[in-house]
Amino acid sequence: DTRTGTVTLTIGDQSYTLTVKQTGKYFTIQYTGSQFTSKGTSLSIDVITNDSWTARVEGNPSWITLSQTSGEGDVSIVATLADNPSVNDRTATIIIETPNGHSLKIPISQAARYMTLDCQSVQFFAGGGTSQDIKITTDAQYSISTTGDDWFTVTQKDSSTLVVVAEENPGDTEREGTIVLSMTDLREGTYSITIPVFQIK
């Protein structure tokens, strides 16, 4: 709180009053965003104060570090988030506080690796042919494997697009196979998507 007082000087019947005002301790924090993708990144936290302060990450997780953990006055702290090569989200809380009782908490959440496709299966007529583009959305590295006696092939047009080419089916039975996309840069958990491939007789 701001506080105010007066000093009055009196000489005989004359007096003069001086008003004295002192501001209180202020403490604010500014930052943009608290939700992040699985890829490593950083967050800038601006501390605006006329007080001393300390900063810490609750529980001290190894995947998030702070550029500074104590000081006095205004400062910009950089929180660095390591890469999250996992199928699990993770969260943390940054706490910045002063000795005068001010405390602010910043919740941090970092997403897991993800992968989605814009198709659920690929189907061919007996004459074979080329499928429509299969779009892959992911922030992971991945591998592609197939099953199905080599009657179809998968071509990667670029890092986010696949096409499937099937040969003619000369037999009198339907043919089935699969395409499996598996994340390869995970250090925790496993994740894959299987696309069934069908061809009529």
**pLDDT level of residue 100 (50, 70, 90 thresholds):** confident
Give the per-residue pLDDT at 148: 82
**Does residue 139 have a pLDDT over 80?**
yes
Contact 2, 23 (CB under 8 A): yes
Contact 82, 48 (CB under 8 A): no
Q: Which two tokens stand for residue 121?
A: 């299966």
Query: DSSP readout, 38-88?
Result: SS-EEEEEEEEESSEEEEEETT--TTEEES-SEEESSEEEEEEEPP--BSS
pTM of the model: 0.76
- Dihedral angle computed from the Cα positions of residues 186, 137, 40 and 182, in that order, rounded to the nearest 10 degrees: 10
Helical (H) or strand (E) element with 5 = strand 3-11
CA angle 81, 53, 32 (to 5 degrees): 40
**pLDDT level of residue 94 (50, 70, 90 thresholds):** very high
Partners of 57 in beta bridges: 94
Give the per-residue pLDDT at 1: 81
**Does residue 149 have a pLDDT over 80?**
no
Give the per-residue pLDDT at 174: 95
Q: Which two tokens stand for residue 132?
A: 């429509």
Contact 194, 180 (CB under 8 A): yes
